[in-house]
């Protein structure tokens, strides 16, 4: 879905004040991008601006969302009280057990594949809403929350092979690390 259609489909999304140059500037300032962006990195920055820009109130918030792409430590995530609250909810561990096999194969996680996984999970589990989505977001984006985290998840795999200054963990790698750190 083009970003302008995505904004129309998500009434809570504001007009996007951010550009690829804003994203690249944040990445440089935080040490995640060294020097000038390659063509692939520039395209990723454009996509990141389109997906996240309308959901960030300011540059600091956009930086926080981008930080979820570039920093992931499952042990750190699981040490947070919020993570325990999410994992204690009905069906949370079932959702993770259902998600994990879908991510065992290191395939690109794009919008279509994520939709397929969610549909399959809904068919097998009687979970909806936060019971389904918060554990997924926690495991892959590093925190539970709103649908903007789904957009963060969609940026992971495309960023992983682009040679940023910090290695980005794919959804596959994050799921393996999360499951290993979970008891």
pLDDT at 127 over 90: no
Average pLDDT over residues 142-164: 95
Cα 90 → chain centroid: 23
Task: With both helix axes pointing from N to C terminus, report the angle between 129-141 and 111-124 in degrees, rounded to the nearest 10.
Answer: 130
Q: What are phi and psi of 20, to 5 degrees?
A: -60, -35
More confident residue, 2 or 20: 20
Query: Any idea where the domains of the chain sit in the sequence?
Result: 15-181
- pLDDT tens per residue across span 33-58: 999 999 999 999 999 999 999 999 99
Return the number of other C-beta atoms located less than 10 Å from residue 104's C-beta.
Answer: 10
- pLDDT tens per residue across span 74-102: 999 999 999 999 999 999 999 999 999 99
């Amino acid at each position: 879905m083009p970003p302008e259609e995505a904004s129309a489909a998500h009434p809570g999304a504001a007009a996007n004040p951010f550009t690829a140059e804003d994203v690249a500037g944040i990445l440089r300032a935080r040490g995640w991008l060294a020097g000038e962006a390659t063509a692939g990195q520039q395209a990723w920055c454009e996509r990141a601006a389109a997906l996240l820009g309308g959901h960030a109130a300011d540059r600091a918030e956009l930086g926080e969302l981008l930080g979820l792409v570039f920093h992931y430590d499952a042990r750190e995530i699981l040490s947070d009280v919020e993570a325990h609250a999410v994992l204690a909810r009905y069906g949370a561990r079932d959702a993770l057990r259902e998600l994990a096999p879908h991510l065992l194969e290191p395939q690109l996680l794009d919008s279509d594949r994520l939709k397929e996984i969610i549909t399959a999970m809904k068919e097998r589990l009687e979970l909806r809403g936060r019971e389904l989505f918060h554990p997924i977001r926690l495991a892959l984006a590093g925190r539970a929350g709103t649908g903007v985290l789904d957009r963060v998840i969609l940026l992971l795999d495309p960023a992983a092979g682009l040679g940023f200054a910090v290695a980005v963990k794919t959804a596959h790698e994050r799921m393996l690390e999360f499951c290993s750190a979970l008891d």
